[in-house]
Amino acid sequence: MTALPPGAIDCDLHPAPPSVAALLPYLEPHWADAAGHRGLHELETIAWPPNAPLSCRPDWRDGAARPGSDPERLIGDAVDGFGTRYAILNCLYGAPMLYSEDMAAGFTRALNDWLRAEWLDRDPRLRASILVPPHAPELAAEEIGRAAQDRRFVQVLLPVMGETPPGRRINWPVYAAAERAGLPVAFHAGSAYRHPPTPVGWPSYLAEDYAAQATAFQSALTSLIAEGVFQKFPDLTVVFAESGVAWLPAHLWRLAKYWRGLRMEVPWVDRSPEEIVRERVRFTIQPFDAPEEPDAVARLLDHIGSDDMLLFATDYPHWQFDGMGALPEGLPETLVQRIAVDNPLNTYPRLGEGEP
């Protein structure tokens, strides 16, 4: 098992979303009343049914308790367990699936306040992402401005499948607000379910949904590049969380090839997509979707073509992540240092504040 260096940073782990009852103290009175009137008890996670085997490794399952629901257990298993310096909580709450923009904004606001009080205040190693309603960009921007005042929030979190392709201009207020606050925008596997998760229609099984996430990330990446998001927001970093990375070299090859042929259509894309991605997009490494042989991993990393792009993550407590062997085998020590420490510190400027 590859050992983590001191100061490692876990860039993707998952506290279980709260029940509506647990969120009530953080909801504005109007939304607390609305939850009562509607008989709303749960807003399920985005694509993570809590009882599905995929939602928790058996060794992290704790009887009937919802995986990731006990802060002390998460801190013991994942933060103490891996000895990480910081761990970034990505709470995959279902509020982005609500059709009412106002209600989604009300519930994401409460969720961010709940994260602050129930998790961040509990352990100085915890950091979190700001959840926002993806289909209400102006309200999302407002929430970024509000929540980002607490510097323990280190990025903005969106499901990779929202209402529109993420590069579209309607989404730009989110990127403007994130850039203003100095926060990366993370797209995590998951959907607001405005569209089928596969381009050929609605699938029947969770396995199909999960496998389709990689194609959603490809489409999201293409949209961000083609619409000129990286030119419009020169200081914005994008993180792909739980996206997998094995698809990246082949997709970039294809994208760069067609960009060369069709660039007159998108003159603002003034560099090869490969260059843009290497400079501006980062990827969490769990679950690592490549063969286990060190040679195959080395070849993949060679094809990716940069040591700066991968971020250590455990994806705790989900089942498909590699448990205590969260880093691929056979990586050179210098690359492990980059993935576990240097790249996260460069991606998340707020993490370095107060560091010697």
Which C-beta is closer to Zn ion: that of 230 or that of 283? 283
- Judged by CB under 5 A, the stretch of 105-113, 220-228, 236-244, 345-353 that binds Zn ion is 236-244
Supply the minimum distance, in Å, between the C-beta of residue 213 and Zn ion: 10
Residues 16-35 vs Zn ion: string with x where CB under 5 A? --------------------
Whole-number CA gyration radius for the chain: 19
For 300-315, letters b (16+ CB in 10 Å) and e give: bbeebeeeebbbbbbb
Which C-beta is closer to Zn ion: that of 227 or that of 242? 242
Could you tell me the strand order of the sheet in which 86-89 lies?
A: 9-13, 86-89, 126-131, 153-161, 185-191, 238-241, 281-284, 310-311
Report 308-337 residues binding Zn ion (CB under 5 A).
Answer: 315
Taking CB under 5 A as the rule, does residue 10 contact Zn ion? Answer: no
Q: How far is CA 150 from the centre of its chain?
A: 19
Which C-beta is closer to Zn ion: that of 143 or that of 315? 315
Supply the minimum distance, in Å, between the C-beta of residue 158 and Zn ion: 13
The candidate with the shortest Cα–Cα distance to 196, out of 214, 180, 216, 181, is 216
Half-sphere exposure in the Cβ direction for 271 (13 Å, CA): 9
Residues 271-310 vs Zn ion: string with x where CB under 5 A? ----------------------------------------
Supply the minimum distance, in Å, between the C-beta of residue 321 and Zn ion: 8
Supply the minimum distance, in Å, between the C-beta of residue 14 and Zn ion: 6
Query: Which DSSP symbol is given to 356?
Result: -
Supply the minimum distance, in Å, between the C-beta of residue 315 and Zn ion: 4
- Judged by CB under 5 A, the stretch of 58-66, 158-166, 193-201, 240-248 that binds Zn ion is 240-248
Taking CB under 5 A as the rule, does residue 242 contact Zn ion? Answer: yes
Which C-beta is closer to Zn ion: that of 209 or that of 315? 315
Supply the minimum distance, in Å, between the C-beta of residue 28 and Zn ion: 29
Supply the minimum distance, in Å, between the C-beta of residue 9 and Zn ion: 15
Given a contact cutoff of 8 angstroms between Cβ atoms, the answer to whether 126 and 89 are in contact is: yes
Which C-beta is closer to Zn ion: that of 304 or that of 326? 326
Taking CB under 5 A as the rule, does residue 12 contact Zn ion? Answer: yes
DSSP per residue, 267-336 = TT--S-HHHHHHHHEEEE-SS--S-SSHHHHHHHHHHHT-SSSEE----TT-TTS-TT--SPTT--HHHH
The candidate with the shortest Cα–Cα distance to 309, out of 333, 259, 274, is 274
Which C-beta is closer to Zn ion: that of 10 or that of 274? 10
The candidate with the shortest Cα–Cα distance to 216, out of 161, 281, 282, is 161
Supply the minimum distance, in Å, between the C-beta of residue 325 and Zn ion: 17
Applying CB under 5 A, the residues found at the interface with Zn ion are 12, 242, 315
